[in-house]
Amino acid sequence: MGKSKLLFITHEMSPFLDLTKISEITRQLPQAMQDKGFEIRILMPRFGNINERRNRLHEVIRLSGMNIIINDNDNPLIIKVASIPSARMQVYFLDNDEYFQRKHVFADKDGKFYADNDERMIFFCKGAIETVKKLGWSPDIVHCHGWMSSLVPVYLKTTYKDDPTFKHSKVIYSIYDKEFSGALNADFAHKAIMADMNEEHTEVFKPGTNAALDAGAVKYSDGVVLGSADIDAETLNNVKNSHKSVLEFEETADFENYYNFYDEITNEELVHVA
C-alpha cells in the first residue's frame, strides 16, 4: 500500500491518558502501521490531567487560532504537539480552556457526568477535522476510536464530503465496551448539525446514549471494528444490520488483521467498479 496516510482520532492514548483498553490500542496500532509503511497522524483532546511539562507538549502556532462554533458561540482552538521518541510519532492535542482544563475527564469528583460533554464532543470532532485541513494532509483512512469521535463519520460524509482534504478518505469506526451510562444533553443532536446537514442526519444520534452514538458512527462509516470482546447486543445488532465491512474482535500482537482490513476498505471501490 506504499505510503498510505492513516489518521487516528481518539480521546485517550498511552502514555498521555490511560482510561480504558482504548489507550493501549491507540498506542500500539499506529506504531504497528507505521512499521508497515503508513504515514501516521494522531489527534486527541488535551484534557487537564495530561501533564504538559512531563509529556513535553508545546503549542503549534501555525495551527492554533481557529474558532469552533457551537450553538452560535465561538470557542478558540489551541493545538499542541508531543512526540513519542521511541516510535517517531507525533500526537496533536486539541485544547480549549473551557472544555478541557479540568482535573477529571468525563465526570466530576463525585462521578457525575459533565453536563456539557455533548459540546466537548462536538468541539473535538469539528476541531479534529479542521486541524487536519490546516495541516494540508489528506488521509486515505480516518480511524475513529470510541464515542467521543463518533460524529466525525457523519461530518465527513456530509459537510466535508467534497472537501479536497477528505474527498477520497475512507472512515472506520472502532466500537468498544460500553464507555458511559446515561445520555448526553437533550439538545445534543440539534447542536451537532453543521452546514449541508439537517435534523435527519443526526436523528440516529438523538437519544445521546453510548449505543446511539455508536449506531450513528456505524451508519456513516465505511468499515467497523469490534474493539472489545464484550459489546452489547443492541450495538452488535446495529452493526450486523448495517451491512458494512466488519473487523471482528481478535487479540493480536502484530495487528496484521488491521492492515488487511485497511487494505480491504481502501480497495472496495475498485472491486465494485470491476
Q: How far is CA 264 from CA 48, 146, 224, 256, 268, in A?
A: 38, 22, 12, 12, 6
What pLDDT sits at residue 181? 86
Q: Looking at residue 205, what DSSP letter applies?
A: G
Instruction: Please report the sign of the dihedral spanned by the C-alpha atoms of residue 6, residue 11, residue 15, residue 20.
Output: negative
pLDDT greater than 80 at residue 268: no
**Of 2, 270, 29, which is closest to residue 144 (Cα–Cα)?**
29
**Of 32, 40, 35, 31, which is closest to residue 6 (Cα–Cα)?**
40
The three cell numbers of residue 222 are: 465505511
63 C-beta neighbours (distance < 10 Å), count? 19
Report d(CA 7, CA 138) in Å as an integer: 9
Average pLDDT value for residue range 45-71? 90
Range of the domain at 189: 5-273
What pLDDT sits at residue 269? 58
* Residue 182: band (very low, low, confident or very high) from pLDDT cuts 50, 70, 90: confident
Average pLDDT value for residue range 221-228? 95
What pLDDT sits at residue 273? 36
Exposure string of 26-55, with b = 16+ CB inside 10 Å and e = fewer, is bbbbbbbbeebebebbbbbbbbbebeeeeb
pLDDT greater than 60 at residue 63: yes
What is the count of structural domains for the chain?
Answer: 1
What pLDDT sits at residue 274? 32
CATH number for the domain spanning 239: value is: 3.40.50.2000
What pLDDT sits at residue 54? 85
Average pLDDT value for residue range 139-166? 97
pLDDT greater than 60 at residue 204: yes
The three cell numbers of residue 97 are: 480552556
pLDDT greater than 60 at residue 85: yes
